[in-house]
């Protein structure tokens, strides 16, 4: 694949506050890249610098090998979709979609054909004469997406575009945007703080913390092999347990969780951890299994709650100050609240980080 967008050592400050710091990020042509992170981590600022609505404080931004920092927004060939849709309320749907084509001075016949094709592609061809306030939130979102695509941009930027939709509609639009991306071969940079959204839609995910990339990789890479405790906590749910390293052998690390509980884990990522070092152990709820007390588990714990979640059970257990969450298949027999159970840790499923 060819690098299409490249941020080279890009920083952005607002006054004394550095929002993006020494960013080096490459986006491939035709890729769907999600920028994921908490509020204030720099995601939207990166999008605005790429769109031309903000200037970088330092560094270089390349698109298709050409520098674009000094190129005005309307000459970058970028489509943008915002969370609030930004549709013109006094225009019809067809007029909204036609607007970027008119600004580029296309002929009337070509504008009419592109508007017709674009609206039909998102199943709104019959609503072209309505105004935005006559459409549902999902329909308005599809119009905003069509307007961003109708002039055949080099890249489409989306800033929390599904945040205002209800859960069911948001999930439907995720699949719709994903399908459009695949069918049209679009290059998409997508900003979200919703981990599930990023996991569902992206070829790769860049996870930001305080203006820097903590990890970038496929959904499976960042979920199954988090680079640090921040990523482990932010992407999906995890049990993050404080521990002390007892030692290491051919089977990995031996870790003391306190309260008389010891587990084995795969070797730590990054710098090695010696005996006595503090550590954090991350294990996903679905990677823990529960056995009856006296069974072949590793850590004995008390069952505090069993929550029915439809397709699975969510078990809450404790051992002294240690807290565990387990996702269990519904067909499995649920332990009784107040009973003791054995938690089973597979060393390969435990990620270990320096404390």
Phi, psi of 134 (to 5 degrees): -95, 5
Reported as a pLDDT band with limits 50, 70 and 90, residue 295 is low
Token digits for 287? Answer: 């990677």
Provide CATH code, domain 237-354: 2.40.50.100
pLDDT value of residue 334: 81
Least confident range of 6-20, 173-187, 232-246: 173-187
- Tell me what the pLDDT averaged over the chain comes to: 91
pTM value?
Answer: 0.88
- The pLDDT assigned to 21 comes to 95
In which residue are the tokens 């051992």 written?
319
Quick: pLDDT tens for 64-118.
Answer: 999 999 899 988 989 998 877 789 999 999 999 999 999 889 999 999 999 999 9
User: Per-domain residue ranges for the chain?
Assistant: 3-233, 237-354
Of 238, 204, 209, 219, the C-alpha closest to 37 is 209
pLDDT band at 270 (very low <50, low <70, confident <90, very high): low
pLDDT tens readout for residues 152-164: 888 999 998 887 7
- The pLDDT of 24-48, averaged and rounded, is 94
pLDDT computed for residue 61 by the predictor = 97
Task: Kindly report, residue by residue over 52-68, the tens digit of the pLDDT.
Answer: 999 999 999 999 999 99
Q: What share of the chain is helix, strand, coil (3-state, %, to 5)?
A: 30, 35, 35
**pLDDT above 70 for 1:** no
User: What is the number of alpha carbons within 13 Å of residue 355 lying toward its C-beta?
Assistant: 13
Question: 89 with 131: CB under 8 angstroms?
Answer: yes
Mean pLDDT value of segment 45-50:
96
Predicted local confidence at residue 162, as pLDDT: 82
- Residue 13 CA, chain-centre distance (Å), reads 24
pLDDT of residue 180: 83
CATH superfamily of 3-233: P-loop containing nucleotide triphosphate hydrolases (3.40.50.300)
Angle in degrees, CA 237, 240, 245, rounded to 5: 150
Confidence of residue 18 (pLDDT cuts 50, 70, 90): very high
Cβ-based neighbours of 103, under 8 Å, separated by 6 or more = 74
Of residues 113, 192, 94, the one with CA closest to residue 152: 113
Residue 65 φ/ψ region, left for φ over 0, alpha for ψ in the -120 to 50 degree band, beta for the rest: left
10 Å CB burial of residue 271 (0-12, 13-18, 19+) is exposed
Work out the average pLDDT over 329-336: 78
């Amino acid at each position: 694949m060819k690098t299409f967008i490249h941020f080279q050592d890009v920083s952005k400050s607002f006054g004394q506050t550095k929002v993006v710091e020494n960013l080096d990020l490459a986006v491939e042509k035709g890729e769907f890249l999600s920028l994921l992170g908490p509020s204030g981590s720099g995601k939207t600022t990166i999008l605005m610098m790429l769109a031309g609505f903000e200037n970088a404080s330092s560094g270089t931004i390349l698109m298709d090998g050409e520098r674009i920092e000094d190129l005005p927004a309307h000459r970058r060939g970028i489509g943008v979709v915002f969370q609030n849709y930004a549709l013109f309320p006094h225009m019809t749907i067809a007029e909204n979609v036609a607007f970027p084509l008119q600004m580029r001075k296309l002929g009337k016949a070509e504008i009419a054909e592109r508007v017709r094709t674009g609206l039909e592609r998102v199943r709104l061809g019959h609503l072209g004469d309505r105004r935005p306030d006559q459409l549902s939130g999902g329909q308005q979102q599809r119009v905003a997406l069509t307007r961003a695509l109708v002039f055949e941009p080099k890249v489409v930027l989306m800033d929390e575009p599904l945040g205002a939709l209800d859960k069911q509609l948001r999930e439907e639009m995720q699949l719709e945007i994903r399908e459009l991306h695949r069918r049209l071969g679009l290059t998409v940079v997508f900003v979200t703080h919703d981990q599930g959204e990023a996991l569902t839609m992206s070829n790769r995910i860049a996870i930001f913390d305080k203006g820097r990339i903590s990890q970038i990789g496929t959904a499976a890479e960042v979920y199954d092999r988090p680079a640090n405790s921040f990523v482990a906590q932010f992407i999906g749910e995890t049990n993050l347990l404080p521990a002390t390293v007892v030692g290491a052998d051919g089977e990995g690390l031996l870790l003391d969780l306190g309260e008389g509980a010891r587990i084995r884990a795969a070797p730590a990522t990054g710098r090695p951890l010696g005996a006595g070092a503090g550590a954090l152990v991350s294990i996903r709820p679905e990677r823990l299994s529960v056995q009856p007390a006296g069974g072949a588990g590793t850590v004995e714990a008390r069952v505090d709650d069993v929550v029915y979640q439809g397709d699975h059970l969510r078990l809450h257990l404790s051992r002294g100050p240690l807290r565990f969450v387990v996702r269990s298949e519904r067909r499995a027999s649920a332990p009784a609240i107040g009973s003791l159970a054995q938690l089973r840790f597979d060393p390969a499923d435990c990620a270990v980080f320096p404390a």
